[in-house]
Amino acid sequence: MKKNDIIEKLRALPYDPSGYWVITGGAMVLYGFRDETHDIDLGCTAALADRLEADGYLTDRYPDGRREFHIGEEIEIFEDWLCDTVDAVDGVPVISVRGLTEMKRSLGREKDLRDIELIRKKLGNIE
């Protein structure tokens, strides 16, 4: 999924963008660190999570009570998953680059470490 695909899919969501933000791979694409991603991961507010649950989306619950939702095959939404702040890219709410890096560092997967290197190559040290 390329940048325009992500933006189009998010604009089609029937939810107020002030209640969610793009994270992980989608954020990498929106910032231009990568050309594409296979899905869209979003963080969301508790209020949006309540609405998603009321709308009938199946919920996985984490031990701390936070919820995870799947909207179709391409969108996953994680309640209250935010490091740092939210910025806007082409009118789309996106986790800040600093927050994206923190998130990927905490995930610690090989692909996340590679993404951190892509960010560093483009922006330099972002600590």
Domains in the chain (CATH in brackets) are: 3-121 (3.30.460.40)
Taken as a whole, the chain contains a residue count of 127
Q: What are the C-alpha distances in Å from 72 to residues 13, 81, 103?
A: 11, 20, 24
pLDDT band at 127 (very low <50, low <70, confident <90, very high): low
pTM over 0.85: yes
Asked whether the predicted pLDDT for residue 92 surpasses 90, the reply is yes
- pLDDT for res 10: 97
